Every structure is written in C-alpha cells, then in structure tokens.
A and B are shown apart, each in its own frame.
Chain A
C-alpha cells in the first residue's frame, strides 16, 4: 500500500486565520522564504506551528547565506565529496 503524504499544515492559535497558509504574498510583511518553507515542509510531511516560523525562517536564512559562501567557491567538476563509498 502506498502511503499518501499528508498535507503540510501551518498550525494557528487564531481560528480566524484558518485556511490561510501564511501572510499573503501581496502583504508588505510577506517573506518569499515563507513560501519555500511551507512547500518544503509539505513535501516532508512536516507540520510547522505559525509561532515557530520567524525562528525557522531566521535559521534557514543564516544557513542559506553560509551555503552561498561555500557555493561561491569554484571546484572542478570531478571533485569528489568528503565521504567516498568503497565497495
């Protein structure tokens, strides 16, 4: 039997916002990273409480900034990763 992934859900304490994923894209406070977080969480079947979003966003932004620093370093196409599988 194939398990169907559940929808990612941004939980809210305020029932008036039920059904909305996050701040609308047109809202001045909307952060484009929120869309990525919600979509990725959905793919991972992960629930993220609305109250956790600022910290998750902040941590992800730091990691992406540091990852960009690493990615800016040019390596040859045949560079191997640190862990190398041996049969």
Chain B
C-alpha cells in the first residue's frame, strides 16, 4: 500500500478488503522506516491513530457506512492544533505552550470523513520560509534527492506525501507554502480560494494571506480531501459562509469549452529551462496557444512581500522583545526588519491589493484558467543561499516565491500539478477565478489522465 492513493485505500477499507487498523499499522511502519531519512514528521500520534482505526473497523463490523476517507492515514503541518500536542509552528518558542485542548477544525472534518491522523509535520519556523529547512528540527529532505530542499514552509507535508509515508497531508500557504513544496517534491497541492477552508485552531502567519489546503499524489485525492473539509466555520472570521461546492464529481466533466491561457510577461522572466519545459508540456497537452498578461504582477509580488513582512512581524512583536534569541536567526532578522517598515508603505500596498484584484478578476471574464510556473527552478540543494535567475545571481530564500506570490496575494484558487522531469520534478500552477477550485481541479485531472502531470515515485 506504499504508493496507494487515498481513494484506493478508502475503497479497500469500505469494502472490507483491508482493515483500517492494518492500513494504519503499515503507515506507522513506513514512517518509522523512512522518517529518519526524510525528517518529515516531528510528532507521531500512534496510539491515537490505532484507536481511531479500531473504531472504524468496529463501525464497519456493525454495518455502519464509512466516510469517503475511511481508514486513510494523513498528517498535518505542525501549525495545526492537535489535541494533546503543543502547536510548535516550527518554532522553539512555542514548545513551551500548553498542549492544544482540541484539534483544528480541518482535522476534525478529515476524521469525520473517516481519515486517520498519524502525526504532525516539519515546517519552516513560523511559516516564514520557502526552503523546508528548520534550525530547531533539522531540514525536511526531498524524497527524490535527500540533499535537496523539500520547499517550504510546508516542507514536511511535501516530503511525507512524495515519500509515500502518507497519501494525504495538510499544509498552509501564505505566499506559496503549498505550491512550492508541491513543485520541489513532485506532488499535487491545492491552495483554495482565500476564505474557503477554515483556519480555526491553527497558528497564523499573515492572517490576511493565510490559506490551508491538502497535498496528495493524485488530483482525485486532492478533490476528495478538499470536499471533506469544505463548509462554514464560525471559529474563523475569514471563512466564507458559502454552500459546500463539491469538486470530486466535477472531475469527470472534462475540460472541453474551458478557455485557458498561459501567463506571459512577468511569468516568462527568470524561469529556468526546467520551468519552461514544464510549462511547454502542460500548454501543449491542453493545446493552449493563447498568452495573457497579468497586469502589474511584479508590483503585486512586491506588495505581497511588504504586507507579509509587516503583518507577519507584528504577530511576533512580543516574542521578539522577550525571546529574540530563541528564533531561527534568519527568521528573526527578517521579522525585526518587518517591524520597522513605516505604516504608509503598508497602507499603499493594501490599496494596491484591491486595485490589482479588480484587474485580475476582470481577466477572468475572458478566460477560465491561467497557467503559470510554480517555481523558477527545481529543488535547490539544502543550504544553498543563492541561485541564478535571468543570468543574475539572487538570494534564494526570498525569491523562490516570485511566481506564487502574485496569485495568493489576491486569494485565487490554484492547483499545483507536478510535471515529472528527470532527475527532479517541478510543478505548474493551474489558476482559476475565485471560488472555482472545481475548474482548476478538472484541468489538473485532465493533465493527469493525459500522463503529463504525474507524481513520480522516488527510489527510496
């Protein structure tokens, strides 16, 4: 079952071909065997998982109908509250917090659908990261090459799914933290519309940009998990009061009639040959010849950077006063700098955000989907500090998200689809207009069916 999808596992458990307990034990054994290499998990909740699995098996024996994720092992980025664990959010400081009294809303919804939580996952400190490195817990390692980054900040989520430890994981995406690990690790990731999925009972980073979403090895599994997690939650003031709009059933609708364009201009700059190759393969498979310019994307990325720096820093002011030496130095110095940015500059970035949103939404009157690169390169080496974009050597950390930031800045839904280049995969962003996750998932599914978007199995 190492590489089985969540859909296959749920079907086998519901049909009685496998017990939920045997699936859970197999997942725990894989984690025990592979986690020393991948460093994806920071906590394993084995007894909780066994208890949940036994309850599922008893329910089935009693003739009860199991949920759509019956017996599917999953894990969450360690900024999600997990009952009984301190929510560390990748930090040293948070470890002294009291254990969470309850689970995050999305964990509850996954478990209501029958999924089995097996643990919490490594991440960049306080989610201010694109690398997957962590000075306190060690770097999460890329299953395709242990010496390379998983991408961040949901690095453990990327490594756990790409390495076959679990078929599903949850992460957060503020500026690209689902899409970047999806790209570097070669898996599917969904960053839904801002406000679609509840963020209640998770540790924030930049609340006005924070999204939560799933990682999987198939687009069908993404849709399955996404559907299970939808719904209003009064505990998250940002969570939209919208009806559940299932995406799974829409996958088979195909893509005929969808108007798809490739993002040009800014999104053509700085791309490595691998990034361009992935874009060409996807565009060719979808027979897309149209190019569209997202106006002022570079400025949008700059505005996202400014708001992230300041809002993210404000969250940590007290901790920077009292415990600055307990931060990852690289995170600390960025946060301190963010505290010092004058307010008028932030106000302007927030005004620009509204203007930009209106411009981009107007584009969607004319297209249904925009394709853009996810990352400017495949996974860099661990510890790498610079890379070359368009012949210019640049700092790596702040620039990995150049293609993801202009999109999450205005909360559009995106599916990152993996293109299995050799030796390392890389992803493409499938971007839809707000609240149309179903459209992005349909395109991802079509690319998967065509054999263009595939999560490659690592040799570990």
Contacts and interface: CB of A to CB of B under 8 A. Distances in A.
Contacts of A58: 333, 337
Given A69-B299, A70-B306, A75-B351, A46 B334 contact: no
Contact of B302 (A47, A70, A80): A70
B339 A46 contact: yes
B333 A67 contact: no
A64 B329 CA distance: 21
B333 to A, nearest CB: 4
B206 to A, nearest CB: 12
Indicate the member of B299, B309, B337, B353 with the most A CB atoms within 10 Å: B337
A75 B352 contact: yes
Interface string A35-46: 011001100111
A52 interface: yes
A1 interface: no
A48 B305 contact: no
A56 interface: yes
Contact of A66 (B208, B302, B324, B350): B302
Contacts, number: 103
Contacts of B54: none
Q: How large is the interface on B (under 10, 10 to 19, 20 to 34, 35 or more residues)?
A: 35 or more
Contacts of B298: 69
Given A73-B299, A75-B348, A81-B347, A36 B340 contact: yes
A81 B341 contact: no
A28 interface: no
B355 interface: yes
Given A55-B333, A80-B354, A67 B324 contact: no
Contacts of B149: none
A63 to B, nearest CB: 5
A60 B340 contact: yes
B352 A47 contact: no
Given A46-B339, A82-B208, A83-B208, A67 B345 contact: yes
A71 interface: yes
B321 A55 contact: no
A62 interface: yes
30 contacts: A40-B339, A41-B340, A44-B317, A44-B321, A46-B320, A46-B336, A46-B339, A48-B336, A55-B330, A55-B333, A56-B337, A59-B309, A59-B336, A59-B338, A60-B340, A66-B303, A67-B302, A67-B306, A67-B345, A69-B298, A69-B302, A70-B302, A70-B306, A73-B348, A73-B352, A75-B348, A75-B352, A82-B208, A82-B354, A82-B357
Interface of B: 208, 296, 298-299, 302-303, 305-306, 309, 317, 320-321, 324, 329-330, 332-334, 336-341, 344-355, 357, 398
Nearest 5 pairs between A and B by C-beta? Answer: A59-B337, A55-B333, A81-B350, A82-B353, A66-B302
Interface of A: 36-37, 40-41, 44-49, 52, 55-60, 62-64, 66-67, 69-71, 73, 75, 79-83
Given A47-B321, A63-B306, A73-B348, 11 more contacts: A37-B340, A40-B340, A44-B339, A52-B329, A52-B336, A56-B333, A58-B337, A63-B305, A67-B349, A69-B298, A82-B208
